[in-house]
Amino acid sequence: MVDAIATLARWVQLVSNLILLGSCLFLIITSTVKQIHSEVWVGRLERLFPWLAVSMLTGLLVILATTIVQVTGSANSLGEYEVWLGLLGDTRVGQIWIFRFAAAILLLLAILYLCNVSKTRWRYALCVAIATLPLIASSLASHAAAEELSVTAVMPYALHLILAGVWFGALPAFMLLIFDKTNKTNKFNILRRFSSVALPVMLLIIFTGLIVANQIFDGYYAALVATPYGWLLSIKIFLLVIILLIAAGVRSYWLPLLNCKQDSDVSNGNNGIRRWVRIEFILALLLLLLATIITNTTPAKHTLIENWPFSFRFSVIATWNQPNVAIQVWSGVAILVAAIAILQLGWLRNWGIKRLIFIPALLFISGGAIALQALTIQAYPETYRRTPVPFDVISVAHGATLFAQHCVECHGPQGMGNGIKSRTLSTKLPDLLIEPHTIEHTPGDFYNWITNGMVNTDMPGYIDKLSDEDRWDLVNYIHALSRGYQARILTPEIVPNKAYVKPPVFSYQGHDGSPGTLQEFRENKAVLMVVFSWPQSMSRLEQLKQAYGRLKEQDVMLLAVPNIDLVVEDMKQLIAKELPFPIVTQGAAEIATSFALSRRTMSHPDIIGRGTTPDHMEFLIDRKGYLRARWIPSVDSSGWSNIDQLNLQINALNREKMNIPFPEDFVQ
């Protein structure tokens, strides 16, 4: 019940705000006609303004009250003065509400001023400017702003709301004008002027809506048809399409009738516009109600799709390189373009309504079917299921062990599909190392295959042999294997402002008992991770000891990771060296195993047999958590053996100002 009241209050507040903005803007457009301010419809419209402003304030008060009830879980808290002050003063939601309420009061004062002075365009413009303030404040409480409070995150949403006000908010004024039978001005000129503004505004609404949706979905577009947020948005889009069709019909057919010389044509035009704009307004109210509900629904990218409801999905990455796919897709696109052209031609040539709808619709359906069919691949209930196991070194190392136990005989020691049993199988196995198999399929696809096997192949299911977590560990290992091969582009020199390789995360404990995680250095320090062997790497560790002061000045965290668990005697020898940086003891084996997958270089791809792990490797991880450079002494003889070269790379990293997200902690 509280949620329903809160939604209704938000809807009333939003509708009132948009109507005030759009109506004042409509009056600015129409006020080029001198006698317009004395028209009956203008008086009726302006008499609504104070009520709308009061509705905004009332809606905001109800929103605050329902928020308190939702937070505290009790309606009795509404009588506690301290609770109100605590929410307003100590929370971001409360502070944004104060901004919204103050802007709404300012708008009410501007409206009262407007209603008691002579009407001029600049006074309407003042009200328009003030009416945008509550909308801008509302955008600060949006899903996008909740994740990143920045201009780039908030501006598209704020513009989307303001543009919606320009279109929807003008509809009441539009209707009052068209229903006013005493109007002495030329309705056609006024409405045509507004229509010329409404078209680009609607296009901008769609454009900003796409930007906002892209932020909300964040590449997780399958949620559009498999989550409550996606379903609501799909209904909203459907309503918008109907509204656009109505608006197009009014603009192209009914509005020109107002400029005819025959009274019967003008009367038909008035009646048609009244009927269809009334329907458009009702649908727009429903659309705004849906938008209000969506705003308070869990965003798509944070919603889990436990069971994908379809047996197929669309994927450009997985299909584009298949024979004839590109030709088929572009053919479908060409048919869609032809459908749009024929629709426009039909409007110009005044085709009958059945012909105008049937032919373009047939082409739209045909073009869409041709293009989408080529991009269709098989999907499973688990396809979009998100892995519950982090992409960390423990999972990857355990996955490597499981792979060696259950998968090597068929898939080969490096996952290239060349195991000792591969030639006896009925189907050719994919190359999990070199080919982009992990990019073309989701983690959920791999989980399904490992769990249930693959139909019409020799791939068995392991649901009875491996636990759920074991199967996800295998998925993580397969991704680490592929990412490791992609890391062969790394060299001892970074590529400025280019970050691609995402390493697995890890936690560790140093020889001095100090714990830590890779993630804790993000935004603070670059990490130089040295995977060493003992005593072969003794001289290099001594060199790093001498250079540690400079590295520390450069905000670098140096972690020394033995490539195998050291015996007690070896560890004592290392500690005796008094190295100023941590020697990882707990977690070292998993870190070394996981990062060894990134040992391959362009000159030494290491794809023969089981591969060879170098005795010494060094990895440079930037402040965002991306793997940026790598030095393997056995491959790159010079590299960072000269500490000055290492310092140059670190200085280059420190100069970067990239604004990119951190690597995901889970494979996607």
pLDDT at 183 over 70: no
Average pLDDT over residues 508-519: 88
**Cα-based distances in Å from 512 to 508, 571, 583, 584:** 11, 12, 8, 9
How far is it, in rounded angstroms, from Cα 121 to Cα 26? 10
556-562 and 526-532 beta bridge pairing: parallel
Name 618's Cβ contacts closer than 8 Å, sequence gap at least 6: 528, 529, 530, 531, 630, 631, 632, 640
pLDDT at 658: 85
Tell me what percent of the residues of the chain surpass a pLDDT of 90: 35
H helices of 524-567, in order, are 538-553
Q: Pick 344 or 32 by higher pLDDT.
A: 344
pLDDT at 34 over 60: no
Tokens 């001498």 belong to: 546
**Cα-based distances in Å from 437 to 375, 442, 443:** 16, 9, 11
Confidence of residue 19 (pLDDT cuts 50, 70, 90): very high
Mean pLDDT value across the chain = 86
How far is it, in rounded angstroms, from Cα 268 to Cα 473? 69
pLDDT at 185: 59
pLDDT at 513: 83
Three-state DSSP state, 586:
strand
- Evaluate whether 194 touches 174 at the Cβ level (below 8 Å): yes
pLDDT tens readout for residues 305-327:
888 999 999 988 888 888 899 99
515-517 and 526-532 beta bridge pairing: unpaired
H helices of 375-442, in order, are 393-406, 408-411, 437-440
pLDDT at 146 over 60: no
Q: What is the pTM of this model?
A: 0.81
How far is it, in rounded angstroms, from Cα 221 to Cα 63? 31
Average pLDDT over residues 141-165: 76
pLDDT at 186: 65
Average pLDDT over residues 112-141: 83
Q: Write the secondary structure of 207-250 as one string of H (helix), E (strand) and C (coil).
A: HHHHHHHHHHHCCCHHHHHCCHHHHHHHHHHHHHHHHHHHHHHH
Backbone angles phi, psi at 622, to 5 degrees: -80, 180
pLDDT at 651: 93
pLDDT tens readout for residues 500-511:
899 999 999 988
End-to-end CA distance of the chain: 37
DSSP 577: T
Average pLDDT over residues 86-101: 81
pLDDT tens readout for residues 367-387:
989 999 999 999 999 999 989
Average pLDDT over residues 109-115: 86
pLDDT at 182 over 70: no
Confidence of residue 149 (pLDDT cuts 50, 70, 90): low
How far is it, in rounded angstroms, from Cα 103 to Cα 235? 32
How many Cβ atoms sit within 10 Å of the Cβ of residue 578? 7
Name 338's Cβ contacts closer than 8 Å, sequence gap at least 6: 363, 367
pLDDT at 571: 83
Average pLDDT over residues 188-207: 82
pLDDT at 184 over 60: no
- Evaluate whether 45 touches 28 at the Cβ level (below 8 Å): no
Average pLDDT over residues 219-236: 86
How many Cβ atoms sit within 10 Å of the Cβ of residue 110? 21
pLDDT at 623: 93
pLDDT tens readout for residues 352-365:
767 878 888 899 89
How far is it, in rounded angstroms, from Cα 612 to Cα 600? 9
Average pLDDT over residues 457-467: 91
C-alpha triplet 70, 73, 78: angle, nearest 5°: 80
pLDDT at 483: 92
Name 51's Cβ contacts closer than 8 Å, sequence gap at least 6: none
pLDDT at 402 over 70: yes
Q: Pick 524 or 117 by higher pLDDT.
A: 524
Backbone angles phi, psi at 220, to 5 degrees: -95, 55
pLDDT at 152 over 80: no
pLDDT at 106: 92
pLDDT at 397: 95
Helix (H) or strand (E) holding 509: strand 507-510
Q: Which of 73-82, 113-122, 407-416 has the lowest mean pLDDT?
A: 73-82
Confidence of residue 476 (pLDDT cuts 50, 70, 90): very high
pLDDT at 636: 84
> What does the CA dihedral 329, 330, 336, 342 come to, rounded to 10 degrees?
-150
pLDDT at 244: 86
The residue count of the chain comes to: 668
pLDDT at 196 over 80: no
pLDDT at 49 over 80: yes
**CA quadruple 591, 596, 598, 601: dihedral positive or negative?**
positive
- Strands annotated E in 373-453: 376-378
**Cα-based distances in Å from 47 to 115, 117, 349, 396, 457:** 8, 13, 44, 68, 74
pLDDT at 160 over 60: yes
pLDDT at 472 over 60: yes
pLDDT at 601 over 60: yes
pLDDT at 283: 93
